Amino acid sequence: MNTFIFLRTSLLGTLALLASVSTGTADDTVFFEPLELAAPAATIAVSEDGAWLFSAHEADDEVLVWSVPTGERAAVIETDSPRALLHRQGVLYVGSFGAGHVRAFAEKEDWDLVNEFRLPGKLKVHNLSAPRGKDFQRVLLVNAAGEKGSVGFVLDCDAANIGPRS
């Protein structure tokens, strides 16, 4: 079975999860299910395996975790001003726009906080990036902005080492 996921947000705060499910039979069905959100999402992301959908709600200081197969909300993660989301190897990394940190929440721990990495100065995280699958070595690229403009960092999650991108 193949699942393809397309996401769309609207100004009204509705997040549409559009899943095309192929079973290899002639009567394949495509489902379009809207997910009603109480507030607009600052950003959305999908887990590497396509099982989870994440929506960051910066003003509400929370990330909602949705089960893609069921369409049900699975968890609410409370965290300061979430702006950037990245899921790798069962861990959701959340970059804070207001608090200047990247937090790690583990799926196997019911999305509990397992680590926090503080950025130097008063930086606001805009984006997180990293290779996928077997190429992910727990090293993230962090794009943040401060008083003097945009800056990039390399975050080594194992060494808890944050340094300028070189």
Q: What is the CATH classification number for the domain harbouring 74? A: 2.130.10.10
Distance CA 16, CA 7 (A): 6
pLDDT, residue 69, reads 81
pLDDT of 101: 93
Q: Give the confidence band of 19 by pLDDT, cuts at 50, 70, 90.
A: very low
Q: How confident is the model at residue 10 (pLDDT cuts 50, 70, 90)?
A: very low
The answer to whether position 139 is within a domain reads no
Pairing relationship of beta strands 73-78 and 91-96 according to DSSP bridges: unpaired
25 occurs within a structural domain: yes
Torsion sign (Cα): 127, 88, 137, 78: positive
Span 145-156, pLDDT tens digits = 988 888 888 888
The C-alpha atoms of residue 5 and residue 53 are separated, in whole angstroms, by: 10
Q: What integer pLDDT is reported at residue 149 of this predicted model? A: 87
Q: Is 158 inside a domain boundary?
A: no
Highest mean pLDDT (candidates 38-42, 117-121, 123-127): 123-127
Residues 41 and 54: their CA atoms lie apart, in Å, by 9
**Mean pLDDT to the nearest integer, 7-26:** 46
| Any domain includes 17 | yes
Domain assignment of residue 44, given as a range: 2-120
Q: pTM of the prediction?
A: 0.81
Answer whether residue 148 is part of any domain: no
Which helix (H) or strand (E) segment holds residue 84: the answer is strand 82-88
Percent of the chain scoring above 70 in pLDDT:
75
Instruction: Tell me which residue has tokens 């909300």.
Output: 73
Q: Is residue 69 part of a domain?
A: yes
Task: Domain count for the chain, please give it.
Answer: 1
Residue 150 in any domain: the answer is: no
Residue 5 — very low, low, confident or very high, per pLDDT cuts 50/70/90? Answer: very low
